[in-house]
């Protein structure tokens, strides 16, 4: 058998998180969703996922869809091993789109595929405003498409991802770019970038040049309900026409920050201390929170602030923090 005849049955991908350098809420739609405009880009922290078309290990959960068994496994007790997991939803959605075009049984037989199994090594906090779950869905969709011979293009995957979640289209594009070496053969892969202006409910993704920053990322160890934050905005902004105001996606701004800080005292305390004790260019919550990013362009200040955290009395023992970077893997040495 020649090398070209060998069909891969496993791919390992990093599911990178995202941050919002700006986030505006423009209006509430009649379907209950919100139109937004946001500058999003990838950040160099990630979960690790293995997607296979054969069942190798003993998995915690399985479901049946479109004549395909989907198995899900993770040692992390904070994520649901159910059909509600976005990784499973991503797998179901990409299978559905592929099966609308191809005979799925024949395609699986051709690829020597027995099932879809997903193993999540969860390193990111849950419900944190950095699209950890959306990133899992994104790389599952990319991985399944790859193992099935890349029947869908990047843009087709992004369109399908909009059915899974608002952050998924951007997460697909950004994770395709940052996993490009593993995803060779994906149509339109060269169009993928790690930064974009995102609008609509998240389905309109316009790739742009990233803004490189060194970042200290903090998470206070609590979960924030995005739904509750948007409901708070709806309650206080009734009658206000946000869509008519000026929007500058190139400045640091987060519409959701005020509402999250008002409702969650832990996040308010975190932001206040970061702004007091760090020497960052900017401190801003990402998404609906509670994760907060301190952005640096000066490496000396960045390194000094991070080193001081080990003995800093203002850092609560329940807080997690990361030394990382945003704007692309090769933009900082």
Question: What are the DSSP calls for 280-310, one per residue?
Answer: -SEEEE-TTSS-EEEEES-HHHHHHHHHHGG
- What distance in Å separates the CA atoms of residue 73 and residue 120, rounded to the nearest whole number? 6
Residue 112: phi, psi to the nearest 5?
Answer: 60, 40
Copy the structure tokens of residue 219. 């998470």
- Tokens read off for 256: 């959701």
Q: Which residues does residue 24 pair with via DSSP β-bridges, in sequence order?
A: 37
Does residue 99 contact residue 116 with C-beta atoms inside 8 Å? no
Distance CA 74, CA 120 (A): 5
Residue 159 burial (CB count, 10 A)? 15
Largest CA distance in the chain: 68
Q: Catalytic residue numbers? A: 18, 167
290 preceded by a cis bond (ω within 30 of 0)? yes
Measured distance CA(159)–CA(151) in Å, rounded? 14
Alpha helices in 226-284 (DSSP H): 226-236, 257-263, 265-277
Strands 292-296 and 282-285: antiparallel
Q: Which residues contact 50 (CB under 8 A, 6 or more apart)?
A: 10, 11, 12, 117, 118, 119, 121
Q: How far is CA 245 from the centre of its chain?
A: 28
Cα–Cα dist 101/168, whole Å: 22
Give me 83's structure tokens: 């059909």
């Amino acid at each position: 058998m020649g090398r070209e005849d060998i069909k891969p049955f496993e791919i390992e991908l990093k599911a990178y998180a995202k941050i919002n350098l700006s986030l505006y809420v423009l209006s509430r739609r009649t379907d209950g969703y919100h139109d937004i405009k946001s500058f999003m880009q990838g950040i160099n922290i990630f979960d690790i996922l293995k997607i296979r078309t054969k069942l190798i290990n003993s998995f915690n959960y399985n479901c049946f869809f479109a004549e395909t068994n989907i198995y899900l496994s993770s040692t992390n007790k904070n994520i649901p091993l159910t059909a509600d997991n976005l990784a499973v939803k991503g797998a179901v959605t990409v299978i559905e789109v592929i099966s609308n075009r191809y005979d799925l049984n024949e395609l699986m037989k051709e690829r020597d595929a027995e099932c879809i199994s997903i193993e999540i090594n969860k390193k990111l906090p849950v419900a944190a405003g950095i699209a950890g779950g959306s990133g899992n869905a994104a790389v599952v969709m990319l991985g399944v498409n790859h193992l099935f011979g890349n029947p869908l293009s990047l843009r087709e995957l992004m369109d399908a991802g909009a059915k899974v979640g608002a952050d998924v289209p951007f997460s697909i594009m950004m994770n395709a770019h940052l996993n490009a070496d593993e995803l060779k053969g994906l149509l339109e892969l060269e169009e993928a970038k790690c930064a974009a202006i995102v609008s609509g409910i998240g389905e309109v993704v316009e790739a742009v040049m990233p803004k490189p920053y060194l970042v200290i990322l903090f998470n206070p160890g609590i979960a924030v309900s995005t739904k509750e934050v948007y409901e708070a905005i709806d309650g206080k902004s009734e009658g206000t026409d946000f869509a008519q105001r000026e929007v500058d996606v190139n400045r640091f701004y987060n519409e959701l920050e005020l509402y999250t800080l008002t409702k969650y005292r832990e996040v308010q305390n975190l932001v206040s201390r970061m702004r007091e004790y760090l020497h960052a260019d900017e401190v801003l919550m990402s998404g609906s929170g509670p994760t907060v990013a301190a952005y640096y362009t000066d490496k000396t200040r960045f390194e000094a602030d991070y080193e001081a955290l080990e003995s800093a009395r203002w850092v609560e023992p329940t807080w997690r923090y990361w030394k990382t970077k945003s704007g692309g893997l090769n933009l900082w040495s």
